[in-house]
Amino acid sequence: MTERKKLRSQAWFGGHDKDGFIHRSWMRNQGHPSHMFDGRPVIGICNTWSELTPCNAHFRLLAERVKRGVLEAGGFPLEFPVMSLGETNLRPTAMLFRNLASMDVEESIRGNPIDGVVLLCGCDKTTPSLVMGAASCNLPTLVVSGGPMLNGHYRGGLIGSGTAVWQFSEDVKAGKMSLEDFMDAEACMSRSVGHCMTMGTASTMASMVEALGLGLPQNAAIPAADSRRNVLAHMAGRRIVEMVHENLTLDRILTKANFENAIRVNGAIGGSTNAVIHLIAMAGRIGVELSLDDWDRLGREVPTLVDLMPSGRFLMEDFYYAGGVPAVVRALGEQGLLHRDALTVNGRTIWENCEGAKNWNEEVIRGFDRPLVEHGGVAVLRGNLAPDGAVLKPSAASPHLMKHRGRAVVFSSIEDYHARIEDPALDIDETCVMVLQNCGPKGYPGMAEVGNMGLPPKVLQKGITDMVRISDARMSGTAYGTVVLHVCPEAAAGGPLALVRDGDQIELDVEARTLHLHVSDAELERRRKDWTPPEPAMKGGYQSLYVEHVMQADKGADFDFLVGCRGAAVPRESH
């Protein structure tokens, strides 16, 4: 009989001394029998369940399904909570706390007797924060996403979470929809457990998990209410035990090739611009070089194939029935746009997982001969207004605005925007360029999703639905429009965005990848001398730590002291 490899958890549970006695004895008060400490893998189930995070409110059940699989495979499942980031309720923005939650995850994994971990992710920031924290430890890791809600239905048509809110609220301002009808739609949008069923950030990051090889096939699209989501969780529990025995650590999955695959899948699905920041941050934690140039280089040639809101017509439930991410991966692989040999958590390559995938609905997942958008992906713009880059999502933008020059109308903060945007006297029309300052990582702080500023009512009443908007903020993945985001350096850090004034001419050329402020260098220098940085929103506490250490969006907005993998060496004894 071959001797089992000594597992990390045995540093806690394997000794016949005082420390082993203490660790086992206290665990026994939960009713664990002796054989659970016999050298079987301890699997941590990292749970972001919270009733304040409605997208993840069903995770207690999901965790129980993972436990079944772990027990079947001979592992010892132990569930633990970490900070849960609910996009819908958490103020000022969940992004402010992504790095904090990642620290919670990292130290919870490293400090406890864990041999492998299953990450339960759903709402937008829960996925990157958990992956970032786990990457800093580099144990065998598998992600189970919570799944999207069932399709929303309202008066005979589909309504998508988030996307419908932006559309309907603009219709109310334009006088095309009554407030009563607006309120009636509220209960129709979120009608089951799960996260946004549009291709927002939650669905995008679940798709990135699958494209990166961190989740089992079909992880992204199975609806949360579908029994097959529970089966996937069960099978993930079985697989993570095997991964521990195989020593299939996270650095073998999160390779440059896997990240490049994910970038191309993001382009094909019309994924959220938030994925840019999150993937760069995740790569930084595992030690992979990933930049905005990679996003532009890899995404430029990828058409958007998936016809989902906010870019298209359908929703995630339809995407699952059509074939989900595997069908998209197969389409990319057949065009030579995929690293076919990239390893995934089930021990097979991504091509082995997807080469037989079927596309059951070519309206939802289009072919390369009739894409939704010929050049999808994420466009990275540079120029004197964004020396370190800015991003735009072509599939969500208006074609007629992709090359545009207009007069700047500047809002110094989101409060300034709210105070003035509905004023009939505001000097603005549809040819103008709306500019929002001081909403980046340091400026908000936390880089809130306020970049898709609603249009002024007097423009909406003309029937205009889009204008060029520029900011150092982010945009909800469920939103749409010709919106330039993540301008680097941000205004609060002294970037050129801080120097824009009303009346300046700004030129956007997406095809040329340029964003230019038509103001002389001498004038900008004069304005810089008059500029003073904004006062921080809070002195002391976590927000001060954030502002002092957060990097710019082009670096993933991670903390400078968190970049890199610190590993999972067993901490020193506590007794």
pLDDT > 90? residue 73? yes
Provide the mean pLDDT of the chain: 95
pLDDT digits (tens, 9 = 90+) for 97-106: 999 999 999 9
| Helix ranges (DSSP H) in 247-383 | 256-269, 274-286, 292-299, 316-322, 324-334, 350-354
pLDDT at 109 over 80: yes
Cα→Cα distances 429→67, 173, 361, 465, Å: 58, 16, 41, 12
| Domain-embedded: residue 552 | no
Q: Give domain status of residue 477, yes or no.
A: yes
Q: Are residues 48 and 63 in the same domain?
A: yes
Instruction: Answer whether residue 107 is part of any domain.
Output: yes
Q: Does residue 416 belong to any structural domain of this protein? A: yes
- Dump pLDDT digits (tens) for 308-351: 998 899 999 999 999 999 999 999 999 999 999 999 999 999 99
Assess whether 281 and 339 both reside in one domain.
Answer: yes
* Four-residue CA torsion sign, 389, 394, 396, 397: positive
| Backbone dihedral angles phi then psi of residue 266, each to the nearest 5 degrees | -60, -40
Say whether pLDDT at 3 is over 60: no
Q: Which of 101, 354, 348, 61 is nearest to 226 (CA)?
A: 61
Higher pLDDT, 85 or 3: 85
Nearest Cα residue to 388 out of 559, 550, 552, 507:
552
Q: Given pLDDT bands bounded at 50, 70 and 90, which one contains residue 575?
A: low
CATH of the domain at 217: 3.40.50.2300
Q: Which of 170-184, 516-530, 551-565 has the lowest mean pLDDT?
A: 170-184
Per cent of the chain over pLDDT 70 is 99
User: Are 402 and 337 in a shared domain?
Assistant: no
Q: In this predicted model, what pLDDT tens digit does every residue of 520-535 receive, in sequence order?
A: 999 999 999 999 999 8
Helix axes 126-135, 201-212, angle to 10 degrees: 30
For 446-459, write each residue's pLDDT tens digit: 999 999 999 999 99
State the CB neighbour count (10 A cutoff) for residue 30.
Answer: 7
Q: How confident is the model at residue 1 (pLDDT cuts 50, 70, 90)?
A: very low
Residue 249 in domain: yes
In a domain, residue 400? The reply is yes
The count of domains in the chain is 3
Same-domain pairing of 425 and 506 = yes
**Same domain assignment for residues 220 and 168:** no
Same domain, 303 and 175: no
The full 3-state SS of 429-448, as one line of letters, equals CCCCEEEECCCCCCCCCCCC
Neighbours of 178 (CB within 10 A): 11
For residues 111 and 199, state if they share a domain.
Answer: yes
Phi, psi of 432 (to 5 degrees): -75, 165
Examine the domain organization and report whether 145 and 159 are in the same domain. no
487-to-178, 297, 466 alpha-carbon distances in Å:
36, 19, 20
pLDDT given for residue 252 in this prediction: 98
Residues 97 and 68 in one domain: yes
The arithmetic mean of pLDDT across residues 204-219, rounded, is 98
- Residue closest to 197 by CA, chosen among 146, 233, 121, 231: 146
**Which residue segment(s) compose the domain that 117 sits in?**
40-150+192-354
| Helices H / strands E in the chain, number of each | 19, 14
Q: Between 442 and 478, where is the model more confident?
A: 442
Instruction: Report the first-to-last Cα separation within the chain, whole angstroms.
Output: 34
Tell me, letter by letter, the H, E, C secondary structure of 275-303. Answer: HHHHHHHHHHHHCCCCCHHHHHHHHCCCC
Among 275, 355, 271, CA closest to 319: 271
In this prediction, residues 398-419 reach a mean pLDDT of: 97
CA angle 130–131–136, rounded 5-degree value: 100
List, for residues 6-32, the tens digit of each pLDDT value: 899 999 999 999 999 999 999 999 999
Q: Answer whether residue 565 is part of any domain.
A: no
pLDDT grade for 159, boundaries at 50, 70 and 90 = very high
Residue with the larger pLDDT of the pair 534 and 73: 73
